[in-house]
Amino acid sequence: MKSLAYGKQWINEEDIDAVMEALRGDWLTQGPMVERFENALADYLGVKHVVVFSSGTAALHGAVAAAGLRPGDRLLTTPLTFVATANVALYVGAEPVFADIDRGTLCMDPRKTDQRLSELPRNVRAIVPVSFAGYPFEIESFRAMARENDAILIEDACHSLGGDREDHRIGFDADMTALSFHPVKHITTCEGGAVATGYTELDRRLRLFRNHGVTRSPDQFKNVPDGPWHSEMQMLGFNYRLSDVHCALGLSQMKRLDFFVARRRELSSLYRGLLAGLDGVYQPPAAEGHACHLFPLQVAPEVRGALFTHLAEHDIRAQVHYPPVPMHPYYKNRFGYRPGDFPEAESFYASAISLPLYPLMDDEDVERVVDCIRDFFKKR
């Protein structure tokens, strides 16, 4: 029987040809494919600038560096996310802090965010909500809170490429939006990520940060050029570049992005229909424009482990998203977080199980997963 993972890439012959062509070309890295991929993403998202990075984590790191976060600053985010969202604050010497989720969206709760902002000293320099599972949370109140607190708004949209918020794409609303192209995401470049922004100055800083802080643009030089080879380092950056080979794959995948998102939405609604009326399961929040990266079902915490094992015995490899970040030993030890600090994220985590969801799945695969869940509950 076919093994089902919780997520998986879809690479076709056209993608392979695109990669081969890049490999045969003159540029393996720092060539024309990078800009082509960036332009395709910018057009798709309807934003002015996109800067690609070697991973979504590198993209988030670039975003907090471009925002100017430094020691003494805080970054406010959701506990229900992958550790990278919070870790990037630590990379620049800032402190990550958290506001609990709204169980109705599984995203950062705007009221709790507001409350946290009023409790904390006025040093929150970045607010970083996550469109968890692809849910297009209402962003206007976060924009207002960022404005009032003189903070930058960064949307972690690593789950949400191709999602829509009202009449535009996710990626358009925040000061910066981070994306990931990991194989389980909407398109893949193997590893890869990007930051979208409408601000030319942030774009400039992101590009510098991605390339050791070194620029070759004469209009940006601070030293007097000593020859046509002149380059200069203006900030401390990293090598976070994405190669031309990876960008060629990303560009080829972009051709099918709309189809990938549409298929994810179809599969999610198939799950919803088949699971409706099944006792003991709670469906994930639905919304217009949802990017359908994950299908995080909830069941009673006492049965979650047994259901996970039952699915695995039938070669259905579900996943759990996510252990709340402040509950990881590193965060507990370093910042003194304790169970109960983020009750909504913690109780969601105790009951969560993400079912397989990726465009390559057939309708029959969804039926098989739901049959397996039904069978599990029948036997109990």
Ligand X SMILES: Cc1ncc(COP(=O)(O)O)c(C=O)c1O
- Residues within the interface to ligand X (CB under 6 A): 55-57, 60, 81-82, 84-85, 130, 156, 158-159, 180, 182, 193
Question: Are the CB atoms for 295 and 284 separated by under 8 Å?
Answer: yes
Residue type, 255: K
Q: Which is nearer to ligand X, 156 or 203 (CB)?
A: 156
Cα–Cα distance for residue pair 17/342, rounded to 1 Å: 48
Structure tokens at 265: 């939405």
Per DSSP, helices labelled H in the chain are 13-24, 32-45, 56-66, 84-91, 110-119, 140-148, 200-210, 244-254, 257-275, 301-313, 329-335, 343-351, 363-379
Q: Which is nearer to ligand X, 126 or 370 (CB)?
A: 126
Q: Which is nearer to ligand X, 62 or 275 (CB)?
A: 62
Q: Which is nearer to ligand X, 57 or 351 (CB)?
A: 57
Question: Are the CB atoms for 97 and 75 separated by under 8 Å?
Answer: yes
Residue 97 half-sphere exposure toward CB, CA atoms < 13 A: 23
Cα–Cα distance for residue pair 293/250, rounded to 1 Å: 17
Please state the closest distance from residue 122 (CB atom) to ligand X, in A. 26
Q: Which is nearer to ligand X, 275 or 359 (CB)?
A: 359
Question: Beta strands 164-165 and 168-169: pairing type?
Answer: antiparallel
Please state the closest distance from residue 94 (CB atom) to ligand X, in A. 17
Please state the closest distance from residue 53 (CB atom) to ligand X, in A. 9
Please state the closest distance from residue 345 (CB atom) to ligand X, in A. 13
Q: Which is nearer to ligand X, 22 or 187 (CB)?
A: 187
Please state the closest distance from residue 118 (CB atom) to ligand X, in A. 26
Cα–Cα distance for residue pair 96/334, rounded to 1 Å: 11
Q: Which is nearer to ligand X, 158 or 174 (CB)?
A: 158
Ramachandran quadrant class, 156 (left: phi over 0; alpha: psi -120 to 50; beta: rest)? beta
Geometric angle at alpha carbon 364, from 362 and 368, rounded to 5°: 125
Please state the closest distance from residue 215 (CB atom) to ligand X, in A. 25
Cα–Cα distance for residue pair 54/33, rounded to 1 Å: 14
Instruction: Please identify the residue of the shown chain whose CB is closest to the bound ligand X.
Output: 56
Q: Which is nearer to ligand X, 264 or 310 (CB)?
A: 264
Residue type, 46: G
Among 362, 247, 367, 321, residue whose Cα is nearest residue 83: 321
Please state the closest distance from residue 159 (CB atom) to ligand X, in A. 6
Please state the closest distance from residue 287 (CB atom) to ligand X, in A. 17
For residue 195, the cross-strand partners are 51, 178
